[in-house]
Amino acid sequence: MLLAQRVNRIKPSPSTAAAQRVRELKAQGHEILDLTVGEPDFDTPDHVKAAAVEAIGRGETKYTPVNGIQELRAAIADRLARRHGIRYTPEQITVSGGAKQVIFLALMATLDAPGEVIIPAPYWVSYPDMVLANDGTPVIVDCPSFTLTPDRLAAVITADTRWLILNTPSNPTGAAYTAGELRALADVLLAHPQVWVLTDEIYDEIAYERLSTLLSVEPRLADRVLVTNGVSKTYAMTGWRIGYGAGPAELVAAINTLQSQISSCPSSVSQAAAVAALTGDQEFVRETVAVYQARRDRTVKLLGDIPGLSCTAPSGGFYLFVNCKALLGRRTPASQVIHTDEDLTHYFLESQQVAVIHGTAYGTPGYFRVSFATSTDILDESCQRIGRACADLS
């Protein structure tokens, strides 16, 4: 079989590959402490599950509108109005099989070669490959402070620039932009009207401080911003596969056209559950964020106490991006040299059965990502093992 070039120019998701390797090792009988998984370890709230069961009982198991049921789009519009101060119409909202699908369809709808997409690094692993799959050109901008500065943004904008992807809070760093930082970026964007902005806000409710948004800072950008989000992270609904996008009606219509030919519509039952999640009691969110914050603080301290490692407390999400540059060049007890962050993560897995993801996968060598969306016991034991592994290096 002769495969299309779009398949040959992309690679499988490194985070998915890491999770699969953990599953394989566990199937072989190894007891792996898994810090790779980017999903809540909590169960979906009971009232959300009950809403799905009730929808099945009512026979709501048929096709829905391509862009999602009216009740869900209304709930999304209410949430976005509170979050961004902008009231979206039903025609400006699309619902899809996860925020990931919305992002992919948006790029599919707008990119032709050599359309450039600015991606600040560290970045979520899928952004560059999504751009490549849709004939675009990823323009990676290294951000040592983990947030994009206006000078760096202005320096890479060209006549071919189509999008800036802004992920806040970020995966993998948990960094979030302040109102002042967003204001400075908005000023650059206002001077370049050909540049659209895709804001990935999937972690916006898992926040440890009050967070600002680009549109709340500069609503004049609303006619060229696509807001993407979903219920996966906030409500522990990763497997329900519901995400959404909100933006200019013409773009949303194009996304809907593509979706009509790809998946017809999102799951009817999952949409009923998402309505309950967005409109129901939010105590689950408050409780889980408090748990995440306690885990964050504890794990930052434990890892920070290990010589050779350092990390800062993230503003949101459930990841730590750990600086391990001081350990590169050292030798393992088997006399193998740790040349890269990937070598180090393999060493952790093989010597201590702790799985993390190397920072190079996120465009930033010299780091590794830890997910603290797991129990305190697992986090404590993992940090102890990582400490032992680091101490054994010479």
| pLDDT tens for each residue of 38-92 | 999 999 999 999 999 999 999 999 999 999 999 999 999 999 999 999 999 999 9
Cis check: omega of the bond before 169, within 30 degrees of 0: yes
What pLDDT does residue 198 have? 98
Phi-psi group of 263: left, alpha or beta (phi > 0 → left; psi -120 to 50 → alpha; rest → beta): alpha
Q: Is the pLDDT of residue 125 over 80?
A: yes
pLDDT number for residue 25: 86
Instruction: Tell me the C-alpha distance between 46 and 148, whole Å.
Output: 39
Q: Is the pLDDT of residue 265 over 80?
A: yes
| pLDDT at residue 307, rounded to an integer | 98
User: Mean of the pLDDT values across residues 2-24?
Assistant: 85
Q: Please report the pLDDT score of residue 155 as a whole number.
A: 98
Would you tell me which CATH number, out of the four given (3.40.50.150, 3.40.50.360, 3.40.640.10, 3.40.50.300), belongs to the domain 61-279?
3.40.640.10
Report the C-alpha dihedral over residues 71, 43, 168, 277, rounded to 10 degrees. Answer: 20
Could you please report the per-residue DSSP string of 59-96? T--S---TT--HHHHHHHHHHHHHHHS----GGGEEEE
What is the per-residue pLDDT across 280-338, written as a single tens digit (0 to 9) for each? 999 999 999 999 999 999 999 999 999 999 999 999 999 999 999 999 999 999 999 99
Residue 172: what pLDDT?
Answer: 98
pLDDT at position 192 over 80: yes
**117: pLDDT strictly greater than 80:** yes
List the domain boundaries for the chain. 5-43+284-391, 61-279
Q: What integer pLDDT is reported at residue 18 of this predicted model?
A: 80
State the chain's mean pLDDT as an integer. Answer: 97
* Angle, alpha carbons 169-258-117 (nearest 5°): 45
pLDDT computed for residue 23 by the predictor: 84
| CATH, domain 5-43+284-391, list 1.20.1440.230, 3.40.640.10, 3.90.1150.10, 1.20.1600.10 | 3.90.1150.10
Each residue's pLDDT tens digit, 168-187: 999 999 999 999 999 999 99
Spatial CB neighbours of 167, under 8 Å, sequence gap ≥ 6? 120, 123, 124, 127, 199, 200
- pLDDT for residue 12: 82
The pLDDT of residue 15 is 75
Res 26: pLDDT: 85
Q: Which residues contact 32 (CB under 8 A, 6 or more apart)?
A: 22, 25, 26, 349, 353, 354, 355
Phi, psi of 313 (to 5 degrees): -70, 125
**Arithmetic mean of pLDDT, 338-362:** 96
pLDDT score at 242: 98
Residue 16 has pLDDT above 80, yes or no: no
